[in-house]
Amino acid sequence: MTGEELHKRLSEPFAAADVEWRVTKTRNSNSEGLAVPFIDSRAIQNRLDNVVGPFFWRTRFIPWHQYIPKPGKYEDPNGAQKAPVSSQLCGLSIYDAERKEWVEKVDGAENTDIEAIKGGISDSFKRAAVLWSIGRYLYEIPAKWASLDKYKQIARPAELDAYYTEQLQKLGLASASLPHAGNAPADIYAVRGLQPAPVQGYPAAAWVDLVTPDNRALKVFSLGTKPGLANGVRIRGAKIVQRNAAGGTYYELQDYQPAA
C-alpha cells in the first residue's frame, strides 16, 4: 500500500453509527445542549485493524508534564493548592512495508476529571490518531444545539445522525462503505463481528459489530447473558439503549431473539 493509499483509507469518514456526540454546554434550563462529534478509541482501533492489520500498528505512552490547576471563578484564590494534573504522550506507530520501518506520530493529553488516567490515555491516543488523519475531518463539522432529556443526555440521537450525514455532503465527503445485511426484514440485524470484553460477573461480555436493517454500522456492548451471538448470525427484536461513561456515550444490546 502506497502512502497515498494509506492516507486515503485512514482518513475516510466514519459511518454515522460510529460517531458519538459530546455536550459541551447547555442553555434553556438544560433543555438544549451544544453537541460536538467525536470518535471513541474502539472505532479508531477498528479502523487501524481494517486498514493496516492488527499486527502492523502499535502504541506507546510516555509521561509528559504536570500542572497545578488555577482556582475557579468562585473559588478562594488563597485556598489550598489543588493536586497536580499529570499528562502523557501517545506515540502511534504504523509499519511501512516499503521502507521496512515503523513510522511514529506523537501527541498528548492531560488526565481527565473522570477515570483520570484511563481518560488521559484515551485522549492522547485519539489525538495521535488525528495526526494520521483518522477522524480529522470532524473538526470541520460545526457543533449543533440538540434537545436534551431530563438527565441532560441527547434526547433524539437520530437527528444528529441526519445532521452528520448532511454535513458530510456539504464537505463533499462520503462515509466508509458498509457490508450489506442482505434483503433482511425491517427488524433484522446482522452480526458482523465480536470482540470479547469480559467484566466482573460477565465473562461472556463483548463488543458486537452489527449491521442495522437500513445497512448502517452499529457497535453495541452486550453482557453476554443470552446465547446466539456469533459472527454471521442474524437477530431480531433488538432492544438497544444508549449509555454514558467517562469516555463518552455507547450503546448496549439488552435483549434480542435469534432470527430464523
Tell me what percent of the residues of the chain surpass a pLDDT of 70: 90
Which whole number is the average pLDDT over 189-210? 86
Looking at residue 179, its pLDDT comes to 40
pLDDT tens-digit series, residues 201-251: 888 888 888 888 877 778 888 988 677 788 888 898 888 887 776 555 678
Residue ranges covered by each domain of the chain: 3-71+79-171, 188-258
Report the alpha-carbon distance of residue 96 to residue 1 in Å, rounded: 9
- Which of these CATH numbers, 1.10.3470, 3.30.1490, 1.10.357, 3.30.390, describes 3-71+79-171? 3.30.390
Grid coordinates representing 167 are 454535513
pLDDT reading at 128 higher than 70: yes
pLDDT per residue over 169-184, tens digit each?
Answer: 899 886 554 444 444 4
pLDDT above 60 (res 110): yes
How high does pLDDT run on average in the chain? Answer: 85
Q: Between these two residues, 183 and 97, which has the higher pLDDT value? A: 97
